[in-house]
Chains A and B, each alone.
Chain A
Amino acid sequence: KAGVTQTPRYLIKTRGQQVTLSCSPISGHRSVSWYQQTPGQGLQFLFEYFSETQRNKGNFPGRFSGRQFSNSRSEMNVSTLELGDSALYLCASSFGTNGELFFGEGSRLTVL
């Protein structure tokens, strides 16, 4: 079956703009979580959704937001982009709320 699909794969934005990233989980998976990877901070948890409800949120400013749709697809949005938001954003899906996570290929964001 198809894996986790993230779009777009690469994007370049300028400071102050906003960006929306999309994630389609593995068919049948209802949990989607997002992670940010930077050279300085490593892999950090952003937020987690299950059945359209945010269940957990990491320590990120309010400029980072997300949502999940009824078909389990998820989007995350970053407003008022800063240079430090340049990162690889990874989405993971899981069948339930406490199981093995499977990751997509990521969206690599560069902020100029």
Chain B
Amino acid sequence: GIQVEQSPPDLILQEGANSTLRCNFSDSVNNLQWFHQNPWGQLINLFYIPSGTKQNGRLSATTVATERYSLLYISSSQTTDSGVYFCAVKNYGGATNKLIFGTGTLLAVQP
């Protein structure tokens, strides 16, 4: 099945710094989502981005489907950005909502 790899696994930043999280996937996808898992466990939707570039405030994401990767940019990081960031994809083809998750990037933003 499709493999999803995220890097880096861990990241420590000072407040105000910028960061880039990467998601590589091994096959064609027709859905890619970025999530932030809050301390209580809920997955918060950041981007639905099977291709192209989107921006939402200090966050932006780019997916290059032909090269099988996606990037999540966090600018001017804040302590509230801390948590785990997941990339999840759906294999191309078939009507299914089965998401394959990466192992996540644990981000710690220090004041």
Contact = CB atoms under 8 A, between A and B. Distances in A.
Interface of A: 31, 33, 35, 37, 42-45, 48, 50, 55-56, 58, 88, 90, 92, 94, 96-106, 108
Contacts of A56: 96-98
Contact of B96 (A37, A48, A103): A48
A43 B101 CA distance: 6
Contacts of B43: 90, 92, 103
A33 B98 CA distance: 8
B100 interface: yes
A98 B42 contact: no
Contacts, number: 68
Interface of B: 30-31, 33, 35, 40-43, 45, 48, 86, 88, 90, 95-101, 103-104
Contacts of A94: 97
Most chain A beta-carbon neighbours within 10 Å: one of B35, B45, B98: B98
B41 A100 contact: no
Contact of B41 (A55, A88, A99): A88
A-B pairs, top 5 by smallest CB distance, nearest first, are: A97-B95, A43-B101, A103-B43, A100-B48, A105-B42
Contact of A55 (B31, B40, B96): B96
